[in-house]
């Protein structure tokens, strides 16, 4: 059985993300992986979808207890499975941090309303 190592939650104003995209054309490239951007394109670059992924990345770093200072948001990839469920993949330094902490899985949930996107992440150990 796996034990919970950490939980994280984040809420983002969708309008804030919309403004960031319009002010800085490189915002999407700096924060999101190519596969995430491809997903956004499929969703017609919906600000709510993008804000949800942004909140998910923040929730993941909170669940891992790392903060964002030593890693890049691009090391966290939030995609969807065949049923639309959000899934988390980590790479780079963050993958090493997860291995060192014994984290084997990160579950994520994303939701949004007209004005806000929220995400919750739960990191569990490998169940050794």
39: left (phi over 0), alpha (psi -120 to 50) or beta: alpha
98 with 66: CB under 8 angstroms? no
For the chain, which domains are there?
A: 4-125 (3.90.470.20)
pLDDT exceeds cutoff 90 at 76: yes
The confidence band for 128, taking pLDDT boundaries of 50, 70 and 90, is low
Mean pLDDT of 10-32: 95
Mean pLDDT of 95-119: 94
State yes or no: 128 annotated in a binding site. Answer: no
DSSP state of 75: G
* Tokens 């330094």 belong to residue: 93
pLDDT exceeds cutoff 80 at 69: no
DSSP state of 21: H
Mean pLDDT of 96-106: 91
Mean pLDDT of 74-78: 95
Helices (H), the chain: 14-23, 27-31, 34-42, 47-64, 92-101
Pairing of strands 103-112, 116-125: antiparallel
Q: How many residues does the chain have?
A: 128
Q: Above pLDDT 90, what percent of the chain? A: 80
Long-range contacts of 71-74, Cβ-Cβ distance < 8 Å, separation of 24 or more: 71/97, 73/30, 73/31, 73/32, 74/30, 74/31, 74/32, 74/33
State yes or no: 81 annotated in a binding site. Answer: no
């Amino acid at each position: 059985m796996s034990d919970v190592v950490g939980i994280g939650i984040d809420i983002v104003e969708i309008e804030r993300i919309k403004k960031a995209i319009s002010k800085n054309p490189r915002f999407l490239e700096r924060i999101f992986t190519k596969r995430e951007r491809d997903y956004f394109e499929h969703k017609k670059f919906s600000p709510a979808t993008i804000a949800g992924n942004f909140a998910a990345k923040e929730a993941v770093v909170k669940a891992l207890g790392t903060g964002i200072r030593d890693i890049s948001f691009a090391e966290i990839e939030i995609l969807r499975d065949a049923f639309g469920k959000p899934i988390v993949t980590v790479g780079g330094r963050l993958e090493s941090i997860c291995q060192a902490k014994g984290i084997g899985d990160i579950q994520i949930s994303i939701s949004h309303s007209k004005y806000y996107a929220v995400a919750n992440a739960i990191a569990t150990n490998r169940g050794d």
